[in-house]
Amino acid sequence: MWKTGKLKKMDISQFGGKTTVIAQDAVVRGDIHFQGALQVDGRVIGSIEAEQGLVRVSEHGQVEGVIKAPSVKVNGQVIGDVHAFERLELDANARISGDLYYRFMEMVVGAQISGQLKYLGNELADDELPVNLVSLGNEPGE
């Protein structure tokens, strides 16, 4: 009845060697673009964009800006829209002020959202994809 196991959960440990951590007392101002995993324990003022990988905002983490990544886990505070092209997980301490764009979402009791939920479905529009992924489908001969 329930299709469990079909969608594999992503964990930060899967990105050994490609994980960036923003420490609890650190403040980063500016946009972040990366591949792999990013764990935000501190504060980011700017957008976060991952072509591949995972963004995790821990219980003490804060992001003021847009997050775009295949997988996003939030247990802290986000002020801005969240675009999870594959999977979005909201833990009990998640506090989001912005719209959520997702294909699959898991939400734990206690998470709070001040914004709209927007299901992406099976196909993403070009304006929802990171720029690098849009160009992949527009090559000659496709």
SS3 sequence of 6-44: CCCCCCHHHHCCCEEEECCCCEEECCEEEEEEEEECCEE
- If DSSP codes are grouped into helix, strand and coil, which group holds residue 135? helix
In the structure, what pLDDT confidence band is assigned to residue 113 with cuts at 50, 70 and 90?
Answer: very high
Residue 28 pairs in a beta bridge with: 44
Asked if the model's pLDDT at residue 136 lies above 80, the reply is: no
Which two three-digit tokens encode residue 126? Answer: 């070009």
Domain assignment present for residue 35? The answer is yes
Domain assignment present for residue 44? The answer is yes
Q: What confidence score (pLDDT) does residue 53 get?
A: 92
Domain assignment present for residue 67? The answer is yes
Domain assignment present for residue 69? The answer is yes
Tell me which residue range forms the domain holding 105: 16-122
Domain assignment present for residue 54? The answer is yes
Q: Which residue has the tokens 């440990």?
A: 13
Question: What's the pTM?
Answer: 0.80
User: Considering its fold, how many domains does the chain have in total?
Assistant: 1
**How many angstroms separate the CA atoms of 8 and 10, rounded?**
6
Domain assignment present for residue 142? The answer is no
Q: What confidence score (pLDDT) does residue 11 get?
A: 72
**How many angstroms separate the CA atoms of 103 and 73, rounded?**
14
Domain assignment present for residue 46? The answer is yes
Domain assignment present for residue 128? The answer is no
Percent of the chain with pLDDT over 90: 70
- If DSSP codes are grouped into helix, strand and coil, which group holds residue 67? strand
